Amino acid sequence: MNTASEPRQFERRWPVALAIGTVVLLLTFLQGRVRLFPPWLMYATGILLVSALVPVGLASVRERWLGVERAVMTLFVVVVGVGNLATLAEVVRMMMHGGAELGGLQLLASSVAVWVNNVLAFSLLYWQIDRGGPESRLMDSGRRADWLFPQMGAAEHVPPGWNPTFVDYLYLGYSTATAFSTTEVAPLTSRAKLLMMAESTIALITLVVVASRAINILGS
């Protein structure tokens, strides 16, 4: 969180790197149950993205690396999204055909992994696109906001110059996947609404279809 006494020229990337590491580990776990990609692909994509995050903290090369970070982040989110959807589709296919490939515990673990990856992937995307990205928000470039946070209208209780960080977008992603609707953060643009609809739909299918089936198997 920004404060007047501690002005920042860039947003710290360690929470983003932690989220990326979690996504890579969960995708690797899912690959052990439903193999869709070669195992090295997830590690290579994660390492590439983390490598693109590091130079952003160096003022001398920050500007040229922001575009690289944005491009690699978009690629990473697309890979994760495709992997998540393909895994979910494969698990549902196995359930529909009554195969015994996945037991109750495997279904439950897979559904949790897909749900968490769904939250993290959309959180990274929200963080990257809102008002042009983290540095664009810090510099107040005047780009149109995709989401309205309650702190933006609560100047009495929020330090001047407040801007959302990755944790705020993580909360937005978590709330969308949990409540299947908007909570305290309001979407302002069509793309924000469509992205939240997509995240809610994936979360709903994961919880209602896969997780409930897993619990039913375990309880029988």
Would you say 204 and 210 are in contact if contact means Cβ atoms under 8 Å apart? no
pLDDT at 136 exceeding the cut of 90 = no
Question: Between these two residues, 212 and 115, which has the higher pLDDT value?
Answer: 115
CA dist 53 to 10, 58, 61, 67, 119, Å?
Answer: 11, 10, 12, 11, 20
Most confident of 51-55, 162-166, 178-182: 162-166
Would you say 53 and 12 are in contact if contact means Cβ atoms under 8 Å apart? no
* Paired strand residues for 148: 186
Is residue 174 within a helix (H) or strand (E), and if so which, with residue range? helix 166-179
For residue 1, the model assigns a pLDDT of 43
For 69-92, the pLDDT digits (tens) are 888 888 888 888 888 888 888 777
Nearest C-alpha neighbor of 121 from the set 57, 190, 195, 50: 195
Question: Between these two residues, 215 and 173, which has the higher pLDDT value?
Answer: 173
Nearest C-alpha neighbor of 178 from the set 104, 123, 96: 123
Cα angle 76, 78, 80 (rounded to 5 degrees) comes to 70
For 13-46, the pLDDT digits (tens) are 888 889 988 888 887 776 655 556 666 766 777 7
Rounded to an integer, what distance in angstroms lies between the CA atom of residue 24 and that of residue 42?
A: 6
The model's confidence at residue 156, banded by pLDDT at 50, 70 and 90, is low
Rounded to an integer, what distance in angstroms lies between the CA atom of residue 179 and that of residue 204?
A: 10
